[in-house]
Structure 1
Amino acid sequence: MYEAMATVIGNVVTQPVKRDLTNGEQVVTFRMASNSRRLDPATGEWVDSGTLYLTISCWRRLVAGVDASIRRGDPIIVYGQLRSHEYRTKDGVERRDLEMRASALGPDLSRCTAQPIRRTEAGRSFGPGNLGRNTCDRSSAEDRARVDGEALGEGASPMPAVPARITESASADA
């Protein structure tokens, strides 16, 4: 079996649908479109030069996040494994569909903004107005995190401000 990994940038063109499978797993599927654009040197304007349509399937840990976050029309970036799916329609016509089994998916922040809400192991959410530790699934770094020498816990205080970046004009020896 081949494994062609790719990243595709585009828009969600159908409302994502979450399904429960007979084996107990869940899957979210939707279609996305990625438009290819090029600059026409004669006119100096951007011209559409084709659209790639993909069926995106999200499994396991992606299901909850995609189901709660992604809607039709959203600009997204998807990384995953490309697969060609061949089938026969009810009319007997053979078709081929390109599917991506997503490994990672998120909003395209060059075309929108997003406010992440981290999931916790207990099912609670910590939004931008709440102080809480990052408890995204299987984060071993958080177990070792320290704030002012103390373990990061439920009553943790905010981390100190990040120092200003060194500008290019500043000396590298400083």
Structure 2
Amino acid sequence: MLNITVVGTVVTHPSKRDLNTGEQVLTFRMASNSRRFDQATGTWVDNGTLFLTVSCWRRLVAGVEESIRRGDPVVVYGQLRSHEYRTRDGVERRDLEMRASAVGPDLGRCTARIARRSDSGTGSDPQGVIRNTCHGSSAEPDARVGHGLGETAAAVPSASTQSAAPEPVDA
């Protein structure tokens, strides 16, 4: 399998399913636009869009479910797979799927605050969630703080008694 990083935008609402095995999987579709510099016009032009389905498993399910929404800019890392199949109409199709190892906000296009999970917890406690919200995304309007870019990260108070402040690092 090929491990790859894709930068793009979430185009469907993440959907969680319970499997017969007791495991959960969360999937969403994302789009990544390729751009190139056109020497003749001196401008950047779109050069195609890659669409793929992202599947999240195990601990990643809770984090993505609480953090990522349609319209959010994301960076996704994982195994890229191709699924070939034939539709009911007999048309051959090929779908790209990424089994994600890591999913996060694209901090070049939004801001986010980090909520660290405790070692004993699953991270699915909605009281400890800090949502990333992106300027121009479909994130909930009541989650926004301020209106300017860079002021769009909103935090839900954590139930944890530990400080969320980073620890000092000796250089």
TM-score, normalised to structure 2, is: 0.72
* In structure 2, C-alpha distance between the alignment counterparts of 1:64 and 1:39, rounded to whole Å: 39
Consecutive unaligned residues of structure 2, counting only runs of 5 or more, are 131-154
**Partner in structure 2 of residue 19 of structure 1:** 17
Aligned to 1:49: 47
Q: Do 1:39 and 1:46's aligned partners in 2 also have CA atoms closer than 8 Å?
A: yes
Partner SS, residue 114 of structure 1: coil
Q: Which residue of 2 aligns with 1:114?
A: 112
Partner of 1:72: 70
* Alignment CA distance shift 1:83-1:98 (3 Å): same
Alpha-carbon contact 1:118-1:126 (below 8 Å) kept: no
Aligned with residue 102 of structure 1, among 69, 79, 100: 100
How much has 1:56 moved relative to structure 2? Answer: 0.4
What's the secondary structure of 1:56's corresponding residue? strand
Aligned partner of residue 62 in structure 2, secondary structure: helix
Quick one: distance in 2 between partners of 1:132 and 1:44? 52
Secondary structure (helix, strand or coil) at the match of 1:43 reads: coil
Cα displacement string for residues 7-53 of structure 1 (whole angstroms, at most 9, x for unaligned residues): 00000111110000010000010111110001222222210011111
CA distance, structure 2, for counterparts of residue 119 and residue 5 of structure 1: 26
Q: Secondary structure at the match of 1:118?
A: coil
Aligned to 1:86: 84
SS at match of 2:48: strand
Find the aligned partners of 2:26 and 2:34 in 1 and give their Cα distance. 26
Aligned to 1:147: none
When normalised by structure 1's length, the TM-score is 0.71
Letter in 2 for 1:113: T
Secondary structure of the residue that 2:110 maps to in structure 1? coil
Q: Which amino acid aligns with 2:117?
A: R
How has the CA–CA distance of structure 1 residues 69 and 92 changed in structure 2, closer, same or farther, with 3 Å as cutoff?
Answer: same
Inter-CA distance 158–87: structure 2 relative to 1 (3 Å threshold): closer
Superposed CA RMSD in Å reads 2.5
- Structure 1: gaps (5+ residues): 135-156, 166-174
Give the whole-Å Cα distance in 1 for the aligned partners of 2:30 and 2:21.
27
- The code of the aligned residue for 1:132 comes to Q
Deviation at 1:119, TM superposition (A): 2.0
Which letter maps to 2:32? S
- The structural deviation recorded for 1:158 is 7.5
Q: Distance in 2 between matches of 1:14 and 1:87?
A: 22
